[in-house]
Amino acid sequence: MPIVEVEGLSFTYKGSRKKALDNVDLSIEEGEFVILTGPSGCGKTTFCRCLNGLIPHFYPGDFEGQVVVAGLDTREHEIWELSQHVGLVFQNPENQLFCLTVEADVAFGPENLGLPRHEIRKRVNWALKATGMWELRHRAPHELSGGQQQRAAIAAVLAMRPKVLVLDEPTSFLDPAGAAEVLSIVARLNKQHGITVILTEHRLDMAAALADRVIVMDRGRVVLNGPPGEVLTSEEARKVGIGIPKVVRLYELLAGRGLRLPRVPLTPREMALLVAEVAGIADSA
């Protein structure tokens, strides 16, 4: 049973005439790492909000179809219920941290649930350690770098113990170092803790290698859905206009001149290894 099941999802914001999402069908298995990408306005952000119930409960509009996460239909459960299964991390790290210390922010969610104090403490400690924020737990948000702030926001969401972590362009406002920090934590949460990850991202050169699948959206529809190597080398991807990593473009250029590598590399190191293999270099192992 997939952990996220979306069927025929269409949504139009109240007061808008255009469909933000148009007949989206998707299913995501537990433990997958999925990247959602596409040009601005393609509906990625709207889709993220459909996963934790902000749509339809916080944003009114025309909702068609069905979204089922961890067995719960989002139309029939309140946001606070869904938040215990799906965590949503937003683009702007500053506006997600509203307490005076990191630890207080991480505790915010469990406190709202009225859990017993020792349970809150357990979850807070776990979330802080899982995101590498334990040493920084008493710092105020303004004392943190962008990458640290976003990690604190992730910890705050993790304290709800969701099975699915949805991140809406979390590295948008970060510098490359901060982006790398955040992506590596997210990858670790997926690989070591088995948390399903749905990541909206433009920086495919940094993120593509982490994903099991890449989903490309355009104008509210899903246009591509498959493994990164397949999606990034497709004609459709080029037409839609997403940031194809240089590594993939080089793969295509080499193939165009007759040098076909066994698979599509997603990192520079991978490409070098494949080239060395083809060139028959002994120490390419």
> According to CB under 8 A, which residues from 1 to 40 bind other proteins?
39-40
96 makes contact with other proteins (CB under 8 A):
yes
Instruction: Residue count of the chain, please give it.
Output: 285
Task: For strands 21-28 and 86-89, give the pairing.
Answer: unpaired
Q: How far apart are CA 95 and CA 8, in angstroms?
A: 32
216: which strand partners? 37, 224
The nearer residue to other proteins, 8 or 238, going by C-beta atoms, is 238
111 makes contact with other proteins (CB under 8 A):
yes
Site residues (CB under 8 A) for other proteins, limited to 150-209:
153, 156-157, 160, 169, 172-173, 175-178, 180, 202, 205
| In the complex, minimum distance from the CB of residue 2 to other proteins, in angstroms, rounded to a whole number | 22
Through-space distance between the first and last CA atoms of the chain, rounded to whole angstroms? 38
Site residues (CB under 8 A) for other proteins, limited to 60-79:
79
Question: Are 52 and 60 spatial neighbours (Cβ–Cβ below 8 Å)?
Answer: no
| In the complex, minimum distance from the CB of residue 176 to other proteins, in angstroms, rounded to a whole number | 5
87 makes contact with other proteins (CB under 8 A):
yes
- Residues whose CB is less than 8 angstroms from the CB of residue 38 and which lie 6 or more positions away in sequence, other chains included: 44, 216, 217, 218, 223, 240, 242
For residue 56, say if its preceding peptide bond is cis, omega within 30 degrees of 0. Answer: yes
Among residues 43, 146, 220, 228, the one that binds other proteins under rule CB under 8 A:
146
Near other proteins by CB under 8 A, which window of 13-21, 87-95, 186-194, 224-232?
Answer: 87-95
Phi, psi angle pair for 99, to nearest 5°: -100, 180
The nearer residue to other proteins, 190 or 200, going by C-beta atoms, is 200
The nearer residue to other proteins, 205 or 212, going by C-beta atoms, is 205
How many residues bind to other proteins according to rule CB under 8 A? Answer: 86
Q: What DSSP designation does 259 have?
A: -
100 makes contact with other proteins (CB under 8 A):
yes
Site residues (CB under 8 A) for other proteins, limited to 241-260:
241-243, 245-247, 249-250, 253-254, 257, 259
92 makes contact with other proteins (CB under 8 A):
yes
Residue 249 CA: distances (Å) to CA of 220, 252, 273: 26, 5, 16
